[in-house]
Amino acid sequence: MRLRCIAAVWAALLIALSIGDASAASPGRWFRPAPTAAKQEAVAPPIGLPKRNAAPAPSRPNAAPVLGPLSDLPGEGTTQVRVSPRWHEVDEVLARGRQLESERRWAEALSHYEDAIRIYPGSPSLLQRYAVARQYFDLNRRYADRSFCSQLAEMGFAGALDAYAAILLKIQTFYVDEPNWRLLVDHGTFALHVALTESAFQKRHRISAAPGEIADCIDRLKQLTAARTVENRHQAREAVAEAAAVVHQRLGLHPSAVVMEYLAGACNALDSYSSFLTPDQLQDVYGQIEGNFVGLGVELKAQDGLLTIVRVISGSPAEKAGLRAGEQILMVDRQDTRSLSADEAANLLQGPEGSSVVLTVSRPGEKPREVAAVRRRVEVPSIDLATMIDRDAGIAYLRLTCFQKTTCTDLDRALWKLHAEGMRQLIIDLRGNPGGLLTTSVEAADRFLDRGVIVATRGRSAQEDFTYVAHAEGTWRVPLVVLIDGNSASAAEIFAGAIRDHQRGLVVGQRSYGKGSVQGIFAIDSIQAGLRLTTAKFYSPKGRPYSNQGVEPHQVVQTALKPTAAHSGAAELTQLTPSDGQGGPADMSVENDPVLSAALRSIRQGADRWQSNASEGRPGSVAAAVNAGG
């Protein structure tokens, strides 16, 4: 299927990336929050977070919020605004987040605040804690990244400034909103302050300055910046060059290290999805797009200071070695992971193709065991389950886990297989699908829509404005139900939103995540690194924004726990096991999934109404070349 878009396709990769920071979301590097045990809270220097002029937090006119990883909340008792009658719930969330911060568990703290902001979007305290946690997480991840550390060791002052200038040029040219150059510089000062107070940075650069000296240096930088005119990218570069010289003189820190903190801080200041990508992170993103990577093939989460295996990819080295979901990784090549950050431990799993690694793993209550595995190229299936769930009624089930380059080929193969097995109705499960390529989601939706707008993107300049439309050729006309939840995001929302707006099928589950922006991936060739940059926002066929709103299901089904198996409760249903050639976990029972159960009831109740549109159970007027776009 060819895509007709009203504009020329621009050179950068258009990618509706996954929730939050996708550079940490390649298989084997996904982290999710988990409850923790209480510990004594430590004390760290307060850090000032720069304000956005466009949306200042409610406070006294001249009161800058005082922030720090473990300090008191900004302006508590005077400037904090209670935005909800459930403010006490926000306080409880903040307390849990501060506990994670006190334990330096930044990945979990960041995910904790992300989830909380979705529930309490108006809380300035949550937004501020999120910004602090993100900066600490980003810093520790970079300094646990061997590619970044090697790059920094070889980088001179001039090279760092050139990289900073290249980043600013990309922002000026492609960013979705008009840049606030002073804010970018101020946020760089904030990022530098975070770095100067964090042990990973201090050890790498042998910082021996006392906290008072660091605070005085940061105050001096703020004074210098305030006295400057910073209204364009050239003036921003000059301000950072001066800051690097001052820090080098006062603290002895190499200027290139200072510039790189300003660079990373500027990227983080833009929005939650724009960020600097180290060389390895850039390759991770390319691997996500292509649907393959070199590694073991496990999805991880950080839990109680340990890496826990959430998923083992079918056919991967991890599966062949006998690793199982639910196991905790205690040691990697005899190195104890409990003394490392989540990112440092995950980095130990990486290595060149063909190299070996020995893991010590265990389940709670079980004796630890050693597992040897060889790192290989892993193909990540975008469809990990496609099966007939009710053969008598002709109901097929297909779980779509992401939108990558191979997705539509996989989708076509699965649809024709299910059609041959008697598919007359279809359930597509997008729960937990974090997104992927925008164009792939459009092509996937085009398989089920025969006309009309699928999605429209709008940016700061006309070159980012696209309108994608569906075509009658190759349309599957089977009755359709789409399952979504709060982790269905980005490209998954494009698919579900188009199905909903065109009344092509029923959407069941919970409101989706609400990530309505497009990111371009730009290579910064001078340092072999990259920039993930928000270039546009996207809108549903009816013109509704997805950002912070998501897709509302026709039928809301709340679940107390994330489903681990497909469920219908009907005795005549088969087990949800992978069809031949499809990956996915075996022996999934059809129990304890109220969302799928509701979808089955709905699709059965609507079978008579839909049957007249199903062309006697066939996929409609499907052309011989269904995959013309491939």
We report the CATH number of the domain holding residue 346 as: 2.30.42.10
- Please say whether the beta carbons of 417 and 386 come within 8 A: yes
Residue at 250: amino acid letter = R
In a domain, 91, yes or no: yes
Residue 290 to residue 377: CA distance in whole angstroms: 12
* Whole-number CA gyration radius for the chain: 25
Give strand pairing partners of 468: 5, 455
Q: What is the pLDDT of residue 122?
A: 80
Q: Residues of the chain with pLDDT > 90: what percent?
A: 55
Show the domain range for 191.
146-272
Number of Cβ within a 10 Å radius of residue 580? 7
In a domain, 334, yes or no: yes
Q: Tell me: do 205 and 332 sit in the same domain.
A: no
Q: Which residues are part of the catalytic machinery?
A: 490, 501, 515
In a domain, 468, yes or no: yes
Q: Tell me: do 255 and 309 sit in the same domain.
A: no
Q: Give me the DSSP letters along 567-627.
A: ----TTPPPB-PPTT--S-S-B-S-S-HHHHHHHHHHHHTHHHHHTTTTTTS-SS--S-TT
- For 385, the enclosing helix (H) or strand (E) is strand 383-390
In a domain, 26, yes or no: no
Q: Tell me: do 526 and 414 sit in the same domain.
A: yes
Residue 319 to residue 364: CA distance in whole angstroms: 20
pLDDT digits 0-9 by tens, 395-450: 999 999 999 999 999 999 999 999 999 999 999 999 989 999 999 999 999 999 99
Pairing of strands 425-429, 395-400: parallel
Give strand pairing partners of 5: 468
In a domain, 6, yes or no: no
Q: State the distance between the two ends of the chain, measured CA to CA, in whole angstroms.
A: 7
Question: How many domains is the chain partitioned into structurally?
Answer: 4
Q: Tell me: do 492 and 400 sit in the same domain.
A: yes
Which pLDDT band holds residue 630 (cuts at 50, 70, 90)?
Answer: very low
Distances (CA, A) of 371 to 321, 340, 360, 498: 7, 20, 6, 45
In a domain, 156, yes or no: yes
Residue 263 to residue 161: CA distance in whole angstroms: 9
Nearest CA-CA partner of 194 in 48, 76, 43, 96: 48
Q: What DSSP state is assigned to residue 52?
A: P
In a domain, 622, yes or no: no
Choose the final residue of a domain: 329, 346, 379. Answer: 379
Residue at 562: amino acid letter = K
- Any idea what the Cα angle at residue 155 is, between residues 151 and 160, rounded to 5°? 110
Residue 275 to residue 269: CA distance in whole angstroms: 9
Q: Tell me: do 511 and 451 sit in the same domain.
A: yes
pLDDT value at 592 more than 50: yes
- Please say whether the beta carbons of 254 and 205 come within 8 A: yes
pLDDT digits 0-9 by tens, 259-276: 999 999 999 999 999 999
pLDDT value at 581 more than 90: no
Q: What is the pLDDT of residue 591?
A: 65
Tokens 């085009």 found at: 446
Q: Tell me: do 322 and 398 sit in the same domain.
A: no
Q: Tell me: do 68 and 122 sit in the same domain.
A: yes
CATH number at residue 484: 3.90.226.10
Number of Cβ within a 10 Å radius of residue 319? 18
Which SS3 state, helix, strand or coil, does residue 336 take?
strand
Tokens 């050729």 found at: 473
Q: Tell me: do 100 and 180 sit in the same domain.
A: no
Choose the final residue of a domain: 240, 272, 304. Answer: 272
Q: What is the pLDDT of residue 291?
A: 73
pLDDT digits 0-9 by tens, 154-197: 999 999 999 999 999 999 999 999 999 999 999 999 999 999 99
Residue 147 to residue 168: CA distance in whole angstroms: 22
Structure tokens at 545: 């924004």
Q: Tell me: do 218 and 326 sit in the same domain.
A: no
Residue 320 to residue 553: CA distance in whole angstroms: 39
Beta strands in 116-219, from DSSP E residues, in sequence order: none
Q: Tell me: do 396 and 500 sit in the same domain.
A: yes
Residue 113 to residue 406: CA distance in whole angstroms: 33
Choose the final residue of a domain: 323, 344, 379. Answer: 379
Q: Tell me: do 418 and 302 sit in the same domain.
A: no
Cβ neighbors of 592 (< 8 A, separation 6 or more) are: 563, 564, 565, 567
Residue 411 to residue 396: CA distance in whole angstroms: 13
pLDDT value at 563 more than 90: no
pLDDT digits 0-9 by tens, 478-506: 999 999 999 899 999 999 999 999 999 99
In a domain, 285, yes or no: no
